Structure 1
Amino acid sequence: MTTPNLPTGHEPSARTDLALSNGAPLPHKRRFVLPVALAAIAAALLAIGIVPRLHASSELTKQVDAQRYLSVDALTPTRAPSSQELLLPGNVMPYADASIYARTSGYIQHWYADIGTKVQAGQTLADIQTPELDAQLRQARADEANAKANYSFADSTAQRWQTMLQTQSVSQQDANAKTSDSAAKLAAWQAAQANVARLSELVSYEKVTAPFNGVITARKVDVGALVTAGGSPGIAANGGELFHIEQTDRLRVYVDVPQNDAQSIAPGTKVYLTTQQYPGRQFDASVARSADSIDPVSRTLRVEVDVDNRDGALLPGAYAQVHLALVAAHPALEVPVSALLFRPDGVTVAVIGKDDKVQLRTVTIGRDFGTYVEVATGLDSTDRVINNPGDAISNGETVRIAPAASATSATSAASAKHG
């Protein structure tokens, strides 16, 4: 190939054009590529090292700002429920309970009711044999007849003497003597009648009867046993008690209500019973009466609850759980127990003021609902109460509310409250 001739004075330019036409790199371009590449690599390395530092510094600044004030969970007090169920242990007792003793002395001739026997009022439980008493009654009736005859004769004599006195046939003194004798005979007859009535009453006690409808829970005598009137302890080892009877178609349940809840108890208060023997069953009952006095030893109010037990499901002497429905006329606000602080000056809650500063308030606790308590005084419905405050929290301390944590705390508290 023949190289073309270039014009004089233009060799470089011609060579350059020739190089460009052939696609070959220029020598002076190579000198700039390497510094630029090194600069780019240095910039990339610088960016990789500084950007994380700048991000970490920004996060640190945010964390310092966040920790400058205490982050707390806040909640608003809600109205406490008007009704509350008070669960107390109760002793089931018979509505009527009596020990039956002999009213006359003698031997048991026969008994008719054993333990577990249901009896009616006036039903004969046993017969007592009293031959001496029967003889005394016969003698008393004879004495009554004699006294009656004496009075009849004395009365007729006194009437005749009063008639003769009108005709001056007898003296006034003799007539008065006959009248007094008649009155004395009348008194003797009346005394004999009273003695017969007394002995007749004692003889009627030969039949031991039930005082009310109930169940015989104890029989402590047998045929031939000697019993005495009034049950002298020296005669029998059982103290003279013949039978024990309990009325079980209606039962009494005694409960001791704490002093703080005593004002909510009144006759007619709704109540029901539960027992372990009947899972899931509720026995309707009602408050019949209360002692209207606080026991100074236990600081409780004795309350009597009446239960209809005609089906005989409950047994006297059993243990039962009494559910009392207490109703508050003016319920106050309630907060979770976790919001309370126990300080030397009393129970305290931490409230966030308008300036986000803590205000420690001493409150009065009312009813206790377990996880929640009623605050009788010291709180308003618009207050923002700190939940789970630390023991080191102080009055006037600036705090910051954590919205997300507060919402979670409120949801958890609501779940715990409503079970």
Structure 2
Amino acid sequence: MRKLSVLLASAGILCAAYVFSFGVPEPLKLTFGMDVAELEEQRQDRGGRGERGAQETIVVMKPLAARAYNLVLSTIGTATSLRSVELVSGVSGEIMDVSIDANGVVAAGDVLVQLDNRAEQLALNAASAEHQQAQDLFDRYETLRNNGNSTITDIIFVETEVDLKLAKINVDVAQNALDARAITATIDGTLGLSDLHVGDYLSVGDAVVTINDSTVIVAEFEVPERSIALLEAGKTVQIGTPTYAGRVFDGVITAFDTTLDPTSRSATVRARIDNPDGALIAGMTFTVRIVEKTDPLPVVPATAITWSRDGAKIWVVEDGSVSPHAIAIRYRNGTRVWVETDVPLDATIVTEGAAKLRAGTAVTDAAGAER
């Protein structure tokens, strides 16, 4: 029974294929009372449509459009402070006082470490006394001379004047020695960590503390040789950091190397980032993006491009047939390709089905064919 059903179904399919291709046989037409002329006309209509369809290739067409391309360079950089100072001791002595609070904000001139200054204070007092004595003697000689006293010769007066100047110098030297016992902040900024305590002995050259001015951060990164053309002082860059995922900081390129590194074939670039809230700190890892828009270029889908020994081509539709036109590929992004070509904008091109075309092939738009 199953074999019989299969045979009957096969016979039905064969009969239907025969009727579709060659029409209904004359005996059957008469048997079913069909109008012979009408059936023949229907068959010819079907044949005519099939012949025209065979002559035209169905493709997808669209006008050629232009769009700017975003050149994007992504790289990794490191944060540094615009100004960073590591204070070291220029003198030696016992620490009498420490005013270093980690992460504390200081102003230039603030005293951070006070060394024992008693000897320097005594030396300043002695120098000041000698200066005062020299000043009194000079004033007395000057008064006598102005009153016509001949005992104050020019030589004596000049020697007194020189002694006064030397005494003033000694005061200044003693004052500088006293000031050096106080280690002060040299810039405005934020203090780092310090292990100094009262009673410690500080030697010449010992590290005191690091001060970072983080109101402005500098991002330093490398740019490969192929992207050197993107560099320009004043150009905006986009900065990101894993610490603040999703947040973008704007930076401005301030400087870059004019010579490539011979090993990495890259140039070092620095960008300035305003950091008024102190969110960024020195040493952070940055992701850096430089974006530049090109002039508008013709853009086509990748399916519109065919290849031959002569290079890449797109197909232009004119008067129902196609002709190939050479292109130069400039950029790619996903399925879109930016090209250079002599084809004018808004010309109709084949965007799908180009692989089956030859010069002069008659085509019809798939959208029109569906209708």
1:253 to partner: Cα distance: 3.0
Aligned 8 A contact 1:353 1:359 in 2: no
Q: Is the 8 A contact 2:216 2:272 kept in 1?
A: no
RMSD: 4.8
Alignment partners' CA distance in 2, 1:190 and 1:214: 39
1:241 paired residue among 207, 210, 216: 207
Give the CA deviation at 1:74. Answer: 5.8
Aligned in 2, Cα 1:74/1:402: closer, same or farther, shift over 3 Å? Answer: same
Distance 1:108 1:401 in 2: 93
Q: Supply the AA of the counterpart residue of 2:193.
A: A
Q: Are 2:157 and 1:182 equivalent residues in the alignment?
A: yes
Q: How far is the alpha carbon of 1:205 from its aligned partner?
A: 3.0
**CA distance, structure 2, for counterparts of residue 145 and residue 226 of structure 1:** 35
- 1:34-81 Cα shifts (integer Å, max 9, x gaps): xxxxxxxxxx9x9789657769xx8xx97x967x99x87665443324
Unaligned residue ranges in structure 1 (runs of 5+)? 1-43, 165-169, 232-239, 408-419
- Give the direction of change, closer, same or farther, for the CA distance of 1:316–1:339 in structure 2 (3 Å limit): farther
Does residue 219 of structure 1 match 2:194? Answer: yes
CA drift of 1:404 comes to 3.6
Alpha-carbon distance, 1:119 to partner: 3.3
- Give the Cα–Cα distance (whole angstroms) in 2 for the partners of residues 195 and 85 of structure 1: 65
Question: In 2, are the aligned partners of 1:74 and 1:401 still within 8 Å (CA)?
Answer: no
TM-score by length of 2: 0.65
Q: Is the 8 A contact 1:140 1:196 kept in 2?
A: yes
Residue 285 of structure 1 is matched in structure 2 by 250
Task: Using the aligned pairs only, state the percent identity.
Answer: 17
In the other structure, the counterpart of 2:121 is: 134
Query: Which consecutive residues of structure 2, in runs of 5 or more, have no partner in the other structure?
Result: 1-11, 24-46
* Contact 2:61/2:348, CA 8 A, preserved across alignment: yes
Question: In structure 2, the residue corresponding to 1:315 is in which secondary structure?
Answer: coil
| Distance across 2 between alignment mates of 1:137 and 1:343 | 93
Shift of 1:376: 6.2
**Structure 1 residues 301, 248: closer, same or farther in 2, change over 3 A?**
closer
> What is the deviation of 1:241?
1.8
CA distance in 1, matches of 2:174, 2:313: 79
| Local SS of the residue matching 1:218 | coil
* Change in CA separation of 1:261 and 1:196 when aligned onto 2, cut-off 3 Å: same
Task: Name the aligned partner's letter for residue 271 of structure 2.
Answer: E
Alpha-carbon distance change, 106 to 382 in structure 1, aligned in 2, over 3 angstroms: same
Which residue of 281, 294, 304 maps to 2:271? 304
The TM-score normalised by the length of structure 1 is: 0.59
Distance 1:79 1:214, change over 3 A: same
Letter in 1 for 2:234: A
Q: Is it true that 1:314 corresponds to 2:273 in the alignment?
A: no
Q: Distance in 1 between matches of 2:115 and 2:242?
A: 44
**The structure with more radius of gyration:** 1
Instruction: Give the secondary-structure state (helix, strand or coil) at the position aligned to 1:219.
Output: coil
In 2, the alpha carbon distance for the partners of 1:180 and 1:106 equals: 44
**Number of aligned residue pairs:** 326
Counterpart-to-counterpart distance in 2, 1:406 and 1:244: 75
- Deviation string, structure 1 residues 74-125 (Cα, Å, up to 9, x no partner): 6544332487766543433334321112243322222121433343444332
Secondary structure at the counterpart of residue 244 of structure 2: coil
The DSSP-based 3-state class of the residue aligned with 2:112 is strand
Whether the 8 Å contact between 2:317 and 2:349 is mirrored in structure 1 is: no
Look up the match of 1:98: 85
Which residue number corresponds to residue 33 of structure 2? none
> What amino acid sits opposite 1:105 in the alignment?
S
